[in-house]
Structure 1
Amino acid sequence: MDPLEDVLTLLETRSRLSAGLVAGGRWAVRFDAPPVVKFNAVRKGSCQLVVDGVPEPFELAEGDCYLLTRPRSYILRSDPETDPVEGSTVFAGAVDGIARAGQGSDVFLLGGGFAFSNRAQDLLLGQLPPVLHVSAGTPHAETVRWALAAINQELTGRPMAGALVAEHLAVVMLVHMLRLHLEQSPRTASGWLSGLTDPVVAQALTALHGNPAHAWTVAELADAAAVSRSTLAARFKAAVGQGPLEYLAHWRIELAARRLRKDGATLASIARSVGYGSESALSVAFKRITGTTPGEYRRRPTRT
């Protein structure tokens, strides 16, 4: 099992596309902290992105895109001297899926956001920087540009089921953005995403995700990665921030949490499916990691 695919599937990753933004002349638009993980792509022209808490603005050129991994307010603008208007006002006047700012049509941005299941934020994005900026000038960005062009074609051509196809393409774009970040900036990643950049740790992660119910030992994982136990333990802890068996315990709880939400299986059945021998063993681990019991978690209203 591919760990990245595994996590994105577990977290029920889905996209929401928003109205496009056409702007020209001198303009600036302020946006409140988005309730979803926001992305925008510059399909035409150039502009600046200013994110709350990030000291320097990002210069966005045609073909660039970015992902906001934190719920922070931000500004898109032509220049720092123009006073921003509220995004809610600008997008309230959108016509045929296009909002307008300033005068003219020098710039066109395509945007949207990603939503996840309620335990996703820390697992997937908690260790990433607040902004992932993918520059069109890098050769690795070709796949992201392809996805963006395909999204744009689906939205503007409006074929049958075009909106649905565009939303699935946006998830494809997210996968590529995460891949590009790991390839270009492996040292800035941490947590399990960082582990995917280390071939030894990646082998162990793949083994764990392939059979999470197995009673893994560090020795077995070291054999799977073709290194010594001490080497695996040290590299896994350095990359992921926790030992391999501690990581396995947390991943099992993520799997159990999804089953508690998604089906009516008994706690005993869920415990066996994720590698715990009894309801009590799962309950103790679940409370230790999540701070709540499986029963309380199952009854809690779902948040997205």
Structure 2
Amino acid sequence: MDVFSDAVATMKVGRAKLTRSRRAGRWGHRFGPYPGAGFHVVLGGACWLIPPHGAPVWLTAGDVVFLPHGAAHGVSSTSDRALNELPLERTETAGPDLITDSVAVPADTTDPADHTVLLCGAYRLNRGSVHPFLRNLPDVIHLPARIGRHGSLRSAVELLGSDVTEQRPGAEAALPALLDLILVYALRAWLDEQCPQESGGWCAALKDPAIAAALDHMHRNPARAWTVAELAAAVGLSRTTFAARFGSYVGQSPMAYLTWWRLSVASRLLRESDAPLAALARQVGYSSEFAFAHAFKKEFGSPPGAFRKVHGGLHEPRSPS
């Protein structure tokens, strides 16, 4: 898997939850804050996004909004109300097989063109192992629908809207997959258009060919006994230049990042497999079970065996800053 795919894979826990709502007239709701990542897809009509800070954002059909940190926000028919003036949305989210309309349409509103149709949902996050790229995303990512832009995202939104509206056979399998596609395409679009390399940080790391290639080497082969010199040679930089640029963008040294990634992989393997600890240690680059257990306990606060018994993710790894 490439670094971007790994980052998305470490974020989600289980399937996304979602509800569909149809609104008309004067309406508004406040969401969050909540321990997850939220999203809104405007399937029809238009509305305002009321962020916790800054000016309201006009949303139209086809727009996608992603809130990676579960920040408090509102969605409203008008822009003239502050976030704390909106009623809290208490509708429980449902699984894809239980989507039902939440309708609030005045009796005298009959024109379907006046209705706003929203798909609102959330991903539960394993915050301890969220990749630092995702930790550094802005509170609100707005990707407006534009002709000729974000073609993959637009296609996924259209398919999602069709499946949600028509409730055709196979929706139980299709909807989670479409939501995952929208997440990937939304983050990809943000990285391409709204994440300038000159801003530094992970924007620069993932767009810099040498640093991105080094990260890819570590992610594809965490068991290899990498050194800074070997990584630098693999991407065509001097050791000094590579170490300085990597540290500047990623926020830690190549070896510190590699250690964190190895232990993040190990935590996932402990949850998903019953492989012996010695074999698992070798799989993530440790020559002995003792060395692996020591590093794992230092990062997680509990040894690998105890972590595996819990298996519910109660002790999560600290993400690098």
Do the structures match in fold with TM over 0.5? yes
Q: CA deviation at 1:196?
A: 1.4
Q: CA deviation at 1:199?
A: 1.2
Q: CA deviation at 1:127?
A: 1.2
| 1:273 counterpart letter in structure 2 | Q
- 1:25 is matched with which residue? 25
Q: What CA distance in whole angstroms lies between the structure 1 residues aligned with 2:270 and 2:204?
A: 29
- 1:100 is matched with which residue? 103
CA 1:190–1:157: 2 relative to 1, 3 Å = farther
- 2:89 is matched with which residue? 87
Q: What CA distance in whole angstroms lies between the structure 2 residues aligned with 1:282 and 1:268?
A: 9
CA 1:234–1:138: 2 relative to 1, 3 Å = farther
SS of corresponding position for 1:255:
helix
TM-score under structure 2 length normalisation: 0.83
- Is 1:63 aligned to 2:58, yes or no? no
TM-score under structure 1 length normalisation: 0.87
Q: What CA distance in whole angstroms lies between the structure 2 residues aligned with 1:102 and 1:297?
A: 50
Q: Is the 8 A contact 2:18 2:99 kept in 1?
A: no
Q: CA deviation at 1:33?
A: 2.6
Q: Is the 8 A contact 1:7 1:124 kept in 2?
A: yes
Q: After alignment, is 224-233 or 183-192 more displaced? A: 183-192
| 2:242 counterpart letter in structure 1 | L
Q: What CA distance in whole angstroms lies between the structure 1 residues aligned with 2:99 and 2:180?
A: 23
Name structure 1 gaps, 5 residues minimum. none
- Is 1:141 aligned to 2:150, yes or no? yes
1:49-97 deviation digits (Å, cap 9, x = unpaired): 1233x233222222211111112332111114465333226989xx972
1:17-36 deviation digits (Å, cap 9, x = unpaired): 42212112221112233443
CA 1:291–1:79: 2 relative to 1, 3 Å = same
Q: After alignment, is 120-129 or 56-65 more displaced? A: 120-129
- 2:303 is matched with which residue? 293
Q: What CA distance in whole angstroms lies between the structure 2 residues aligned with 1:11 and 1:288?
A: 22
1:155-195 deviation digits (Å, cap 9, x = unpaired): 22222221321110110111111111111232488765652
Q: CA deviation at 1:282?
A: 1.0
CA 1:212–1:2: 2 relative to 1, 3 Å = same
Number of aligned positions between the proteins = 301
1:123-172 deviation digits (Å, cap 9, x = unpaired): 45211111111111374422211111111112222222213211101101
